[in-house]
């Protein structure tokens, strides 16, 4: 799954280019950097690779989301519809711009349920933010139709699905804006980094300034720049961009390995009739970073998790229902509004309405789900062994369940 599994001389070469200049900042120092502009190269490579007009690198996927929300004009009192299953960065970014995260149910795509989105719309709704979790995609046709009908912004959080497509278009390039994360465990990594993608020149200009203290980058040097609006320091460094530049050139290789390993593991697990698989709106577009599968009940799934743990084969198999970072049920800091800076009154009121039991529909989905990370480094033997051990554990648990009835 993560690009760090296949680090090599390509990454070292790009980083060494920067080290030899001694210029690690992406802006300025034109002479000493000797024509080395890794951030600019990576932004151009993102545009070419994913078929988008503009890309602005940031320091992380979280800062990319915060930037995207800001340039889209989302702020105090605006409601942003987002899924119950995501990474905490999604709601952190919404809160950071003064907006209100409105959580809604997911379905067996593990992404936003369009019907739940429609029910959550109020006069204060400004944006729908699908999160393309675990390598696959939301039902973008349905969500686009809802946004068009209600004149809402569609912001794609594609941080977990780099390289995935929906009907021939790269995820992150379909909405008004999209975001990537290049942290250490993403499909391609900069170690730390992110990007805002858009086809709007106006949004790109805003992102370019917002991520660098509001600099307009129109002067002959940084001291000559004007500041048409307030911005923040969300810049990526040249060292991080250099790693990403080597990684993006390997993306096709990563995706090919993932898809092969995903297909083979799915074939092994498919021999168990009680195992079903995640619904994927466009199967051909799945980036295959995870194989997500379901068992019939939460109780059986919990028994399997315990069995996998006992056998020492749980690592790499994620039970999101009890995960502290990715599912709303365990976001106690969000439920309690436990923020070091004071949240605005609108945000505090919205968070008070949350509780760990607020979304039984999502619970019935996530409570039965296990996602198996697809490694780029597996040998054929390792993949076969992993699949067979999972199958044996599932059959053991199911047999125990039948005997207890």
Handedness of CA 387, 391, 392, 393 (dihedral sign): positive
**What Å distances lie between residue 339 and 68, 89, 102, CA to CA?**
22, 14, 17
- Specify whether the CB–CB gap between 291 and 371 falls below 8 A: yes
Do residues 164 and 286 touch, judged by C-beta distance below 8 A? yes
| In the block, residue with structure tokens 């409601």 | 79
CB contact burial 26-36 (16+ within 10 A = b; e otherwise): bbebeeebeeb
Tokens of 107: 């379905």
Among residues 13, 40, 167, 186, the one annotated as catalytic is 186
- Name which of 362, 353, 163, 391 is nearest 270 in CA terms: 391
Residue 91, number of CB atoms within 10 A of its CB:
23
Structure tokens at 357: 């039991």
Q: Is beta strand 194-198 parallel, antiparallel or unpaired with respect to 276-277?
A: unpaired
Q: Which residues are 285's β-sheet partners?
A: none
Q: Is 402 marked active-site?
A: no
Q: Smallest Cα–Cα separation from 227: which of 217, 215, 218?
A: 215
Distance of alpha carbon 334 from alpha carbon 348, whole angstroms: 10
d(CA 152, CA 326): 25
What is the distance, to the nearest Å, from the Cα of residue 173 to the centroid of all Cα atoms in its chain? 14
Among candidate residues 155, 160, 3, 133, the one with its CA nearest the CA of residue 73? 155
Q: Quick one: which of 2, 12, 1 has its CA closest to 246?
A: 12
Residues with a known catalytic role: 186
């Amino acid at each position: 799954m993560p690009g760090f599994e296949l680090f090599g001389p390509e990454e070292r070469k790009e980083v060494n280019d920067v080290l030899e200049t001694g210029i690690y900042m992406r802006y300025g120092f034109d002479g000493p950097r000797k024509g080395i502009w890794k951030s600019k190269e990576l932004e151009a490579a993102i545009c070419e690779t994913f078929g988008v007009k503009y890309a602005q690198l940031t320091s992380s996927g979280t800062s990319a989301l915060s930037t995207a929300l800001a340039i889209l004009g989302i702020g105090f009192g605006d409601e942003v519809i987002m899924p119950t299953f995501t990474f905490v960065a999604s709601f952190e970014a919404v809160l950071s711009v003064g907006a209100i995260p409105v959580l809604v149910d997911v379905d067996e795509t593990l992404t936003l349920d369009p019907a739940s989105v429609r029910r959550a719309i109020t006069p204060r709704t400004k944006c729908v933010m699908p999160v393309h979790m675990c390598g696959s995609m939301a039902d973008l046709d349905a969500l686009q139709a809802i946004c068009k009908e209600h004149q809402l912004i569609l912001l794609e959080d594609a941080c977990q699905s780099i390289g995935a497509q929906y009907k021939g278009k790269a995820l992150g390039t379909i909405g008004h804006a999209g975001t990537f994360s290049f942290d250490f465990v993403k499909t391609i990594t900069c170690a730390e980094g992110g990007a805002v993608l858009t086809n709007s020149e106006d949004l790109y200009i805003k992102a370019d300034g917002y991520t660098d203290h509001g600099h307009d980058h129109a002067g002959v040097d940084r001291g000559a720049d004007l500041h048409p609006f307030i911005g923040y320091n969300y810049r990526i460094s040249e060292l991080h961009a250099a790693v990403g530049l080597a990684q993006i050139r390997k993306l096709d290789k990563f995706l090919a390995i993932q898809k092969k390993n995903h297909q083979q593991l799915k074939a092994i697990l498919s021999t168990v009739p009680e195992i079903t698989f995640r619904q994927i709106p466009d199967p051909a577009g799945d980036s295959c970073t995870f194989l997500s599968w379901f068992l019939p009940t939460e109780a059986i799934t919990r028994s399997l998790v315990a069995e996998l743990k006992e056998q020492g084969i749980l690592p790499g198999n994620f039970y999101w229902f009890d995960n502290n970072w990715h599912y709303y049920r365990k976001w106690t800091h969000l439920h309690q509004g436990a923020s070091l800076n004071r949240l605005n009154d609108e945000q505090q009121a919205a968070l008070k309405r949350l509780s760990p039991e607020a979304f039984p529909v999502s619970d019935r989905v996530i409570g039965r789900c296990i996602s198996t990370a697809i490694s780029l480094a597996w040998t054929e033997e390792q993949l076969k062994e992993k699949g067979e051990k999972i199958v044996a554990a599932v059959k053991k648990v199911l047999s125990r369940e039948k005997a207890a009835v």
